[in-house]
Structures are given as C-alpha cells and as structure tokens.
Structure 1
Amino acid sequence: MTSHAHLEQARFNMIEQQIRPWDVLDSKVLDLLPQVRREEFVPEEMQALTFVDMEIPLVGAPEEALATGRCMLAPRVEARMLQEADPRPYEKVLEVGAGSGYMAALLARRAQSVITLDIDPRLVAMARANLERAGIANAEVRQADGARGLPGDGPFDVIVLSGSVAEVPQALLDQLSPGGRLVAIVGDQPMMRATVITRTQDKRTTTAQPWDTVAPRLQNFPAPSRFRF
C-alpha cells in the first residue's frame, strides 16, 4: 500500500470505527470528514496520532497542553458536536477555542462565516496558517478571551465551545440570535455532558443534554460558585 492509501484507510477506519458507532449518522457530517483533511491540522510531531481516538496536544509540553485545553478534541467528539451544531449555509458561527483550526474548518464548510477565538497567540498563529493553507476563506481567527464572546460582532446563529466549561456564561447566551444554538461540554470530571442550548424566538432558552463525555477545560471561563443561596 502506498502512504496515501494507508492514510485513506486510517481515515476510513476513524469514521467507521470511532465516529459512526458514536451516533454520528448525519451524512452532511460524514461526507465532510474526508474532505477536510484532519492531518493538515495536526502538528508534524503528532502526525501518528491524527486518526486515533484521543485528544492531541498542540503547543508546549503535552501534559500541560492537555490540562489547559490547548489541544484538538477526540475525532468522535468533534464530529458529534458538529452534528449537534448543524450549521446552515446562511448562518454566522462563533467558535471558542480555535486550537489548530480544524473545527473552524469543518464549521466553515457548512456555514456562511466563522469567527474562531483563542486566548493563546501560538494557537491563533497555528490556526490561521492551517486555515489559509487549506484554502478556507470564510473563517477568521482572532486572539480574544472567548468567555466574553464577541459582543460587537454578534448575534451568532451558532456558538461552539471546543472544550469543557463548568457552566456557560450568560454573556455568550446573550450573543445567540433567535433560533440560535450553543453547543458546549458542561460539568466537572468525571461527569460532563454535551449541552445544546437553543434560544427561542421570545428570547428564552431550552436546554438538552443528549450525551456524556469528558473534555479538557477551556481557559478563563468562570467556575460556578459551590454555594447556592
């Protein structure tokens, strides 16, 4: 087998053995995964892990990168979050946690435009370079504290948090347009839940928690107070 054939076989195995069995059945998601080439968003020294069912550290010491959310999420988690977000061709998307730019690339292929934020300048540079090299022109990378969102650029139809938070800040919910949805992984180790918050036309929200997973923490998001009065 050529190295190209090996690569395509590994990609096929990732989709069929990790992603599809994890209830990712939307053909729009499954068809996109071979088109947006994950290996182009993985650092050179981590290429062997491209299609493995794990998080991939991106900058600095691997243990620290995983502990501080400076990583790519596991492929099945990315794919299932994309399925929950379900961006449409006319929608504006905000992503918090640009990482290597891979999730922004997937979102950009489905949406009208994507702004992705990262607090780490190294990741901003990495994501920007990767998206440019992949020829994705409708995704913009900015260095910013994602916990505040982007009040001046909203509202957004879709907000995706590419990492876990203890709770979703109200500031982000306020930036959802009517009918908009926010997808995040919420909770504390060892129990976190994928959380989809939809804003109704009358500015209320509905919340669904369709599946459980764990993911590294996004930086600078507030921890919930332990005391409820």
Structure 2
Amino acid sequence: MKNLLLLVLSMVAVAREATAQDTECVRERAAMVENIRTYARSDASVLGQQGLSESVLEAMGRTKRHLFIPERSCSIAYADSPVSIGQGQTISQPFIVALMTELAAVAPDHVVLEVGTGSGYQAAILAHLARKVCTVEIIPSLAEAAAKTLKELAYDNVSVRLGDGYAGWPECGPFDAIVVTAALGQVPPPLIEQLKVGGRLVMPVGAAYTTQHLTVVEKIAPDQTTTRAVALVRFVPFTRSKD
C-alpha cells in the first residue's frame, strides 16, 4: 500500500512539473511569435509593410519547437537564435524559419519538398500549411529521430526519406514549393525539374561557412525561371553523398 501511495505521489509530481513546463512553453512560444511579427514589420525591404501572413504566424504558434531540440528547453527553443541539434547541424532561428516559409507561398492544397530535414521542425511548420510534405535528410540518425518525433506528434501528412537531397524526391513530386535548409553554391537542377510551373524554391545560395543569399526561384515556364536574392543569411553547408 505504501509503495502504491509513493507511486501515485510521484506521478502527481511529474504531472505538475509537465503542466508547469507546458505553461512556460506556451508563454515563451507566444512571445516568440510576437517577436517574429515585430521583426518582420520593422524590415519592410524583405516582406513589405504587410510583414508575415497570419497563416505562417499561426503555424509558428502551433508548433512545439522545444520538442524538436535535444534539450527540450523552452527558453532555448523559443529564443530568436539557431539551436544545435547534433551532427554539426542546427535548426534556424525562428524568424528565418518563418521567412522561408512565407517566401515559399505554401497553400492548403500544395505538395511541398523540404531538403534537409534536420530535427523535423521546418517540416512540421510546413505541414500546418500544406496538404503533403516530403522531406529528405542525408544523416541517418537525424532522419530517424525526426521521423520518430513527427510521428509521435501526429504529423501524418509528412513523409521522411533518408538520402541525398540534391536529387530531390521525384516519386513524391512534382512540387508546388521546395524549401532547402542548407547552403550550396548553386540551385540543384533536379530540384528545378521537380518544381511545378508557378512554384517557388527557397534556399540559401553561396559558399559554405560564409554569408549566403537567401534566394527565391520562381518557375514561370517549363524551361524558364526567375531568381531574386532576398536577404543575407548564414546556413550550414549542403551535405552530399560520397557515392
């Protein structure tokens, strides 16, 4: 009887701690969204006076970023800074995630490709906005962990694939939007091929370990695209298969 009482008290304590953390995370996440909104409006050169769309801000507010980082810490997760996820990889600061999502112009009926799954956070944001998200990760441990997290959080419209994202994911496309979360000196031709006419590709273009240009490529005809640089960013290098 004593052991049962101790077990019940322990469960109550754990539940209270979890509730306290959830309350803290809700507060921190709401503050993060307001910071993103303010920052977007203060820099009209990138998004114009309208800033970020409410749909993107809502997706940022609904996604539990702290569950996509190793520390599971609210204060770390919702600060406006990148977070290391191991294997030399990071998830971008919240504003950059929101900006790339906005630039991709994702709609509810869209099929979206993400190259560079990482922890699965950007895929989760996209999943709130799109019909289907296909995401490719080259590092096995990250792909496995992201797939597990996304499944546990019931992101049923996200599929994770282990592989070299340079080749895209033809079987999952064609795509209305493509988001690449690592820097490369040029846009991979296979990704342009898999992009629908009228679709957008968003990625950092430039050399590794230096400042890159966050770039938007729009496919305006089967063999024609337009390209514009939006902002200066700094991303981890695009990892390729050695085969």
Distance 1:109 1:42 in 2: 19
Matches within 5 A, 1:119-134: 119-134=138-153
Aligned to 2:119, which of 100, 117, 125? Answer: 100
Between 159-168 and 46-55, report the one with greater CA deviation: 46-55
Give the conservation status (yes or no) of the 8 Å contact 1:178–1:203. no
Aligned to 2:67, which of 12, 19, 40? Answer: 40
Between 13-22 and 108-117, report the one with greater CA deviation: 13-22
Distance 1:11 1:207 in 2: 33
Inter-CA distance 6–45: structure 2 relative to 1 (3 Å threshold): closer
Quote how far apart the aligned CAs of 1:111 are: 0.8
Structure 2, unaligned runs of 5 or more: 1-19, 42-50
SS at match of 1:28: helix
Residue 193 of structure 2: aligned partner: 174
Distance 2:128 2:217 in 1: 22
Residue 54 of structure 1: aligned partner: 81
- Aligned partner of 1:216: which letter? V
Residue 225 of structure 1: aligned partner: none
- Aligned partner of 1:187: which letter? G
Residue 26 of structure 1: aligned partner: 53
SS at match of 1:58: strand
Give the conservation status (yes or no) of the 8 Å contact 2:52–2:99. no
Quote how far apart the aligned CAs of 1:203 are: 3.0
SS at match of 2:179: strand
Distance 2:127 2:52 in 1: 20
- Aligned partner of 1:33: which letter? M
- Aligned partner of 1:29: which letter? V
Residue 226 of structure 1: aligned partner: none
Q: Deviations over 1:135-194 (max 9, x none)?
A: 110100000100111233322111110122221111211111111110001113543111
Residue 31 of structure 2: aligned partner: 13
Work out whether 1:76 is the aligned partner of 2:103: no
Residue 215 of structure 1: aligned partner: 235
Give the conservation status (yes or no) of the 8 Å contact 2:201–2:218. yes
- Aligned partner of 2:35: which letter? Q
TM-score, scaled to structure 1: 0.85
SS at match of 1:125: helix
Quote how far apart the aligned CAs of 1:210 are: 1.9
Quote how far apart the aligned CAs of 1:214 are: 1.4
SS at match of 1:135: coil
Between 2-11 and 152-161, report the one with greater CA deviation: 2-11
Aligned to 2:159, which of 140, 152, 156? Answer: 140
Structure 1, unaligned runs of 5 or more: 222-229
Aligned to 1:197, which of 198, 203, 217? Answer: 217
Say which structure is richer in helix: 2
TM-score, scaled to structure 2: 0.81
- Aligned partner of 2:187: which letter? V
The percentage of counterpart residues that share the same residue type is 32
Count of residue pairs brought into register by the alignment: 213
Give the conservation status (yes or no) of the 8 Å contact 1:59–1:122. no
Quote how far apart the aligned CAs of 1:48 are: 4.3
Give the conservation status (yes or no) of the 8 Å contact 2:105–2:200. no
Structure 1 runs of 4+ with >6 Å offset:
none
- Aligned partner of 1:182: which letter? L
SS at match of 1:39: helix
Matches within 5 A, 1:158-169: 158-169=177-188
Distance 2:127 2:157 in 1: 6
Higher relative contact order (Cα pairs below 8 Å, separated by 6+ residues): 1
Distance 1:165 1:13 in 2: 33
Residue 46 of structure 2: aligned partner: none
Q: CA RMSD in A?
A: 2.0
Structure number, greater radius of gyration: 2
- Aligned partner of 2:221: which letter? Q
